[in-house]
């Protein structure tokens, strides 16, 4: 399939972002070890987070905060340490440092959770009802193709953003929820801004290069399996822009969904 215009630009940019992988590989390969290096996984070439490297060097567990509460008969120690692969870090929780392998697992789990197939069906269903992109037609077979395309696009985006590029740029792929202690508008703006702003593994604010590069790569890859009319300059650019809008909407759900559920439960 022919790839041109912005598609070629995105693919080139994605490859450029992947260049740091080459810098960590051995510069000289002995013949005896070439077979081993070919079998070595890409994950082993990705850099671990500085926080994990530091804690491993000190041989100490990641820091976390414990709270003490009195039970009926004895004190109960409650930890504020978030689960290692939690997608959302709640207010007051301490996140654990992630290795490159942890981030890859995180990216895969992000697409194997129960809601992922629902997202694929919704995306394919809306496209099918409008006969929109990707234009596979309007019969039952076309819906199946759209469903497969939605799963493939979301899967490649998750692995590129949360696994590969989050490791290369030392960025934390998790969403840190602000919670009800902040005003509504501030939370809404914060949630939407996480598409272009994130935190590094060290906890410092940073441009979300993992999102920018990962979504560009995912948009470019759609040129390999979308119909011909949906490839090239304008369609790929629209796909790239749609990814930002969808990502921002997802972050809004992450920020406010718990509040909405709690409100519904109180009214019952």
pLDDT value of residue 80? 87
pLDDT value of residue 15? 54
Angstrom distance (rounded) from CA 60 to CA 69: 26
Angstrom distance (rounded) from CA 187 to CA 133: 32
Please answer whether residues 74 and 144 qualify as being in contact, where contact means their C-beta atoms are separated by less than 8 angstroms: no
Angstrom distance (rounded) from CA 258 to CA 192: 17
DSSP 42-98: GGGGSPPPHHHHHHHHHT-PPP--EEEEE-SSSEEEEE-BPPTT-SEEPTTPBPPP-
Residues in the chain: 268
Nearest to 46 by CA among 99, 96, 86, 87: 99
Within 8 A by CB and 6+ apart from 149, the residues are: 124, 134, 136, 222, 225, 226
pTM for this one? Answer: 0.75
Mean pLDDT of each 10-residue bin along the chain, 268 residues long: 51 55 43 41 66 60 49 54 92 93 92 84 86 85 90 93 95 95 96 96 94 94 92 90 93 93 83
Return the structure tokens found at 160: 């590129």
Nearest to 111 by CA among 151, 82, 142: 151
Angstrom distance (rounded) from CA 33 to CA 74: 58
C-alpha R_g of the chain: 21
Return the structure tokens found at 103: 């981030």
The secondary structure element, H or E, covering residue 10 is helix 5-17
Three-class secondary structure of residue 207 per DSSP: strand
pLDDT value of residue 101? 92
Q: Cβ atoms within 10 A of the Cβ of 96, count?
A: 22
Q: How far apart are the first and last CA of the chain?
A: 55
Q: Is 176 exposed, middle or buried (0-12, 13-18, 19+ CB in 10 A)?
A: buried
Nearest to 89 by CA among 259, 255, 264: 255
232 torsion bin: left (phi>0), alpha (psi -120 to 50), beta (else): left
């Amino acid at each position: 399939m022919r790839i041109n215009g912005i598609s070629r630009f995105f693919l080139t940019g994605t490859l450029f972002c992947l260049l740091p992988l080459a810098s960590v590989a051995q510069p000289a390969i002995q013949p005896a070890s070439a077979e081993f290096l070919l079998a070595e996984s890409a994950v082993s070439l990705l850099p671990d987070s500085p926080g994990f490297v530091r804690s491993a060097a000190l041989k100490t567990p990641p820091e976390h905060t414990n709270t003490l509460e009195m039970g009926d008969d004895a004190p109960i120690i409650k930890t504020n340490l978030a689960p290692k692969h939690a997608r959302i870090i709640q207010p007051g929780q301490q996140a654990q440092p992630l290795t490159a392998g942890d981030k890859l697992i995180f990216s895969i789990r992000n697409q194997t959770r129960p809601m992922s197939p629902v997202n694929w069906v919704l995306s394919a269903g809306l496209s099918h009802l409008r006969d929109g992109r990707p234009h596979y037609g309007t019969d039952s077979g076309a819906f199946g193709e759209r469903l497969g395309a939605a799963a493939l696009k979301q899967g490649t985006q998750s692995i590129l953003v949360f696994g590969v590029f989050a490791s290369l740029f030392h960025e934390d792929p998790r969403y840190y929820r602000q919670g009800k202690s902040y005003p509504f508008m501030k939370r809404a703006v914060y949630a939407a801004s996480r598409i272009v702003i994130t935190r590094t593994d060290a906890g410092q604010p940073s441009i979300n290069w993992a999102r920018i590069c990962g979504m560009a790569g995912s948009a470019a890859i759609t040129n390999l399996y979308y119909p011909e009319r949906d490839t090239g300059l304008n369609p790929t650019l629209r796909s790239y822009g749609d990814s930002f809008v969808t990502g921002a909407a997802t972050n809004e759900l992450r920020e406010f969904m718990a509040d909405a559920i709690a409100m519904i439960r109180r009214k019952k």
